[in-house]
Chain A
Amino acid sequence: MTNKEKNSDNYVIEMEHITKEFPGIKANDDITLRLKKGEIHALLGENGAGKSTLMSVLFGLYQAEKGQIKVRGEVTRINNPNDATRLGIGMVHQHFKLVEPFTVMENIILGYEDVENGLLTYDKAYEKIMDLSNQYNLKVDPHAKIEDISVGQQQRVEILKMLYRDADILIFDEPTAVLTPQEIEELIKIMKSLAKEGKSIILITHKLEEIHASSDRCTILRRGQHIDTVDVKSTTSEELAEKMVGRKVSFGVDKKKAKPGETVLKTENLSVYNPLTDQDVVRDISLDIKRGEIFCVAGIEGNGQSQLVYGLTGLSPLSKGRIYLNGEDVTDKSIRARSQAGMSHIPEDRQKHGLILEFTLENNLILQSYQSDTFSRHGFLKFDAIREHAEELIDTYDIRSSQGPVSVVRSMSGGNQQKAIVGREIDRGNDLIIAVQPTRGLDVGAIEYIHKQLIAERDAGKAVLLISLELDEVMNLSDRIMVMYEGENVGEFEGGNVTENELGLYMSGAKRRDQS
């Protein structure tokens, strides 16, 4: 370290030798992070590396067991978010912490309200909000309710929350997960203008391109430990990735060329109605997915992808259109009937929809098939067969758990829970596998594994319908891509023939291909 770096006056935040433990896990192990005034400092690491925990310590949500924090050169204790706020530290959370039925203004002032004669007053607040909004180009309507505004606008409210409290140290936790490439550009512009005004920013992310586009320096964490702090301009993406993961990472995926066969899933003008908005949330989607290909539906969250899947699987009725599975019309069939006709489904939310957390692993693995002759007889469960089945799948799909087949699924890690679901769905041998966000929240190892499985199924002649919000995944896996925007098919592409930026434009509705 140079003398300049040792000089505390340059640093607005110094987290020194921070250790934070949870039962059984050392989330932060002797980490040191220093933030300069006016810089944008990226905090890079995989899921579970400890980035969010470290920032939660800084923001006062947790207290570290060891180490100290210096704010503007002085050692301070940050016991709760109030302390952090008073020190000028603010945090934009990954999962927005907004009260949905409240207005924008109420959310911004909550905990920081103006009071006159015991009653709330809003005038001063309104003025201040409008001033900040204009100064930083964060347009919002203070009287709108959170549940009525878009995700991008909600994020602006989160940022305003910080600025309203005169924060000048801003922490952004994975802010781009829910944004289009264009919105990401805008956000980076906003961050840079904040930095120019003297605000200091920590950006938690695992997206390398964004780091290069926005940050001055970057600290890399891996498994709770501090690996390195580098100057971004002089470090390549490969180097960053290697530090993040601990080994050389290939960015592409090994994939043979697709050999599509006959049609497995065909839809005609599939439309799904949303009673809350009194509109079709999926409009006239006509698909033709063949054996031996991975067909991906790309798009920003909330453009009808989930509802498309609900319509296909039978969770939602269609307002229009028909669905054919291997030539058979399944439009009016029940969820179970479609499942048995050849449709497997890896759902979006594994804990809410894919598993019963309170059940054992072996009981989760028969969730769709418990009625078959293999697992039951005259209404009675065949426990031996169930056990055998579980042991097979555990072996084949490398599902790790504390007690094998009798582990309670709740105690398993996210990656292993997902492997269990993937294994179960693939094992059923269906011709169509619908995978919705199959790698959400997983670490690189698990992601690699699941991608391999999906490609293996595709090579084995199954049809894979992949819904993904991660452009990397879309680009790497897909043989064909369809972009959904506001419920419609706005463009179809061949896997190798389109760039991320191009996709981004379609995803944000800026472009659309005419359909003939």
Chain B
Amino acid sequence: MKDLYQNTLKKIANSSNGIKTISSITAIVAGLLVGLIIMLIANPAGAFPGFLTILAGGFNSGLRSMGDTLYYGVPIILTGLSVAFAFRTGLFNIGATGQLTVGAFAAVYIGYNWTFLGPVHWIVALIGGMLAGAVWGAIPGLLKAYRNVHEVVATIMLNYIGMYLVRLLILTFIYNSDSNEAHSPAPSARLPELFLDDIFPRSSANIGIFIAILAVIVIHIILNKTTFGYELKSVGFNRSAAKYAGMNEKRNIVFSMTIAGSLAGLAGAVLFLVAGKNMEPVNVLLQEGFTGIAIALLGLSAPIGVFLAGIFYGSLQQGGYYLQTFDFEPQIIDIIISVIIYFAALSLFMQRFVADFISRQINKDVEIAEGNDSA
């Protein structure tokens, strides 16, 4: 048993991502613990059963909640991918929310109006969402590349601009005054449920999960196997060196943000091309964009990690939904997520902490490999 322990630790120590994964998991555990503490303070009686509900997450209601996990997880995976992709190329995409919102609008607009498209309706709506998101990502990209505007502030501004703009557009073009919401997309524009309805009865799972998987694969290939990805990463890590080497760093920054934007736009489209969820003309930023940041961090900005983290989030969310039976507000999930991000931010320190712990256990110095290059 002890040998197994030592060998596992040694393997972790040697793997460049082993320590990082552990610190991600530690961050998650820390977040959950804080959530538990808050729950204990708020409602001691219901705290433990409530906590277990959260942990059980997508399994709370069997296949149905598992299906819903996928359904809720997909948009987050996509926004997470958007943020992660930007991170890997050296940019902070805090504007996933704005890109998601404009993408959603474009998709819903097409979904409501272009019924003549028939069977390809939903595909075109998805593409519309991606294009809108791409534009909304290109703007801060251009501003950064050519005017040196820091993308954090630019994307935050565009979040708000997008929010107001879309609100205006909804009110102008697709407003349903009866329900005070935007019109629903036509049935031909909704994402098909395929056979998922059979596997996960009564859940909302749809083709989105396959779209997410496809996106994860495509992004993974781009980042790790192509010359394009190589350039983007170079510019992200060291803009000057990339320039010295002859790369067009300005163009690459714009590409990065555009792609990131299109991913978030896709997320928005996926989010609303369903029955029963309509856009609202409100002055509130959609949370999915910010959750994506958490997912990207937890997933170590690697596509596969983002996928797993997204599923995890979907599961947590399900837990939060079922939590209401214990008299807790679902906001507790947001609290947990924010604490997880906080601990993920301490990640460098946590990695050192974990590395020191392992070092003492196996009596050998453990090095932390920096950088995310896995090409």
**What is the interface of chain A, defined by CB distance below 8 A to chain B?**
313, 315, 334-336, 339, 345, 347, 352-360, 363, 367-368, 370-371, 376, 379-381, 383, 408, 410-411
Q: Does B328 interact with chain A (Cβ within 8 Å)?
A: no
How many Å lie between the Cα of A280 and that of B34 in the bound state? 61
Contacts of B42 in A (CB 8 A): none
* Chain B residue nearest to A371 in the complex (CB): B227
Given the complex, which residues of B lie within 8 Å of A367, measured CB to CB?
A: 234, 241, 245
| Docked complex Cα distance between A345 and B242 (Å) | 13
Whether B3 is near chain A, meaning CB under 8 Å from some CB there, is no
A359 in contact with B228 given A315-B244, A336-B246, A354-B244 (CB within 8 Å): no
B226 at the interface (CB under 8 A from A): yes
Residues of B within 8 A of A339 (CB): 245-246
Q: Which residue of A lies closest to B244 (CB)?
A: A353
CA distance A194 to B367 in the complex (A): 47
Q: How far is the CB of A29 from chain B (nearest CB, A)?
A: 20
Q: Are B227 and A315 in contact (CB under 8 A)?
A: no
Q: Contacts A360-B373, A363-B373, A410-B371 given: A370-B227 contact, CB under 8 Å?
A: yes
A454 to chain B, nearest CB (A): 19
CA–CA, A370 and B235, complex, Å: 14
Q: By the criterion CB–CB under 8 Å, are A315 and B238 in contact?
A: no
Most chain A beta-carbon neighbours within 10 Å: one of B237, B245, B247: B245
B243 at interface, CB cutoff 8 A:
yes
Picked from A357, A358, A363, the residue with its CB within 8 Å of the CB of B230 is: A363
Asked whether, in the complex, the Cβ of A381 is within 8 Å of the Cβ of B238, the reply is no
Additional A-B contact list (17), CB under 8 Å, known A358-B372, A380-B226:
A335-B244, A335-B245, A339-B245, A345-B244, A352-B240, A352-B241, A353-B240, A353-B244, A356-B237, A356-B242, A358-B238, A359-B371, A360-B375, A363-B375, A380-B225, A408-B369, A408-B370
Min CB distance A21 to B, Å, is 14
Interchain CB contact under 8 A, A347 and B227: no
Shortest Cβ distance from residue A466 to the other chain B in the assembled complex, whole angstroms: 18
A–B Cβ pairs within 8 angstroms, 15 of them? A313-B244, A335-B243, A335-B246, A353-B241, A353-B244, A356-B234, A356-B238, A356-B241, A357-B238, A359-B237, A367-B241, A368-B245, A380-B226, A408-B370, A410-B371
Tell me the complex Cα distance, A339–B244, Å. Answer: 10
Residue contact B237 to A381, C-beta cutoff 8 Å: no
* Min CB gap A190→B, angstroms: 37
Contact B370 A410 (CB under 8 A): yes
A276 to nearest B CB, angstroms? 15
CB-defined contacts of B370 to chain A, threshold 8 Å: 358, 408, 410
Min C-beta distance of B364 to chain A, whole Å: 13
Q: Which A residues lie within 8 Å of B240 (CB)?
A: 352-353
Per-position contact with A for B207-236: 1 when CB-CB < 8 Å, else 0? 000000000000000000111101101100
Min CB distance B3 to A, Å, is: 26
Q: Is the CB of B225 within 8 A of A381?
A: yes
Are A380's CB and B227's CB within 8 A?
yes
Residues of B in contact with A, size category:
20 to 34
Interface residues of B, Cβ cutoff 8 Å to A = 225-228, 230-231, 233-234, 237-238, 240-248, 367, 369-373, 375
Q: Are B225 and A368 in contact, with the CB atoms below 8 A?
A: no
- Chain B residues near A370 (CB-CB < 8 A): 227, 230-231
- Asked if A336 and B247 sit within 8 Å, CB to CB, the answer is yes
With both beta carbons as reference points, the residue of chain B lying nearest to A24 in the complex is identified as: B365
Q: Which residues of A contact B241 (CB under 8 A)?
A: 352-356, 367
A353 cross-chain contacts in B, Cβ below 8 A: 240-241, 244
Q: How far is the CA of A304 from the CA of B372 in the complex (A)?
A: 37
Residues on the A chain within 8 Å of B230, using CB: 363, 370, 381
A-B pairs with lowest CB-CB distance, top 3: A336-B246, A358-B371, A335-B246
Q: Bound state CA distance, A484 and B227, in angstroms?
A: 40
Question: In whole angstroms, what is the CA distance A344 to B242 when docked?
Answer: 15
* B292 → chain A closest CB, angstroms: 23
CB neighbours of B369 from chain A (8 A): 408
Nearest chain A residue, comparing its CB with the CB of B372? A358
Shortest C-beta distance, B53 to chain A (Å), equals 41
Bound form: Cα–Cα A359–B90 in Å: 13
**Are A368 and B246 in contact, CB atoms less than 8 angstroms apart?**
yes
Query: Which residues on the B side are within 8 Å of A354 (C-beta)?
Result: 241, 244
A410 to B370, CA, bound (A): 8
Please, how many angstroms separate the alpha-carbon atoms of A336 and B242 in the complex? 11
* Complex alpha-carbon distance, A339 and B237, angstroms: 22
Across-interface contacts of B244 in A (CB, < 8 A):
313, 315, 335, 345, 347, 353-354
| Chain A residue contacts of B228, Cβ below 8 A | 379
How far is it, in angstroms, between the C-alpha of A409 and the C-alpha of B228 when the chains are bound? 21
Contact A376 B243 (CB under 8 A): no
A51 smallest CB distance to B (angstroms): 27
Q: Which residue of B lies closest to A310 (CB)?
A: B244
Residues of the B chain whose Cβ atoms lie less than 8 Å from the Cβ of A376: 227
Chain B nearest CB, measured from A376 CB (Å): 5
What CA separation (Å) do A357 and B372 show in the bound complex?
11
**How many Å from the CB of B256 to the closest CB on chain A?**
16
Is B246 in contact with A358, judged by CB distance below 8 angstroms?
Answer: no
Shortest Cβ distance from A403 into B: residue: B369
B196 CB to closest chain A CB (Å) equals 33
Query: What separation, in Å, do the CA atoms of A337 and B247 have in the docked complex?
Result: 11
- Report whether A381 and B226 are in contact in the complex, using a CB–CB cutoff of 8 Å: yes
Instruction: Establish whether residues B373 and A358, one from each chain, have CB atoms under 8 Å apart when the complex forms.
Output: yes
CA distance A410 to B238 in the complex (A): 13
CA separation between A356 and B265, bound complex, in Å? 31
Closest-CB distance, B223 to chain A (whole angstroms)? 11
Choose among B226, B246, B367 the residue with the greatest number of A CB atoms under 10 Å from its CB.
B246
Cα–Cα distance between A401 and B367 once the two chains are bound (Å): 14
A357 to B370 alpha-carbon distance, docked (Å): 9
Q: Which residue of B lies closest to A383 (CB)?
A: B375
Q: Is the CB of B238 within 8 A of A352?
A: yes
A109 to B241, CA, bound (A): 38
Asked whether A334 and B375 contact (CB < 8 A) given A370-B227, A380-B226, A410-B370, the answer is no
Residue from the set A313, A339, A359, A370 with the largest chain B CB neighbour count within 10 Å: A359
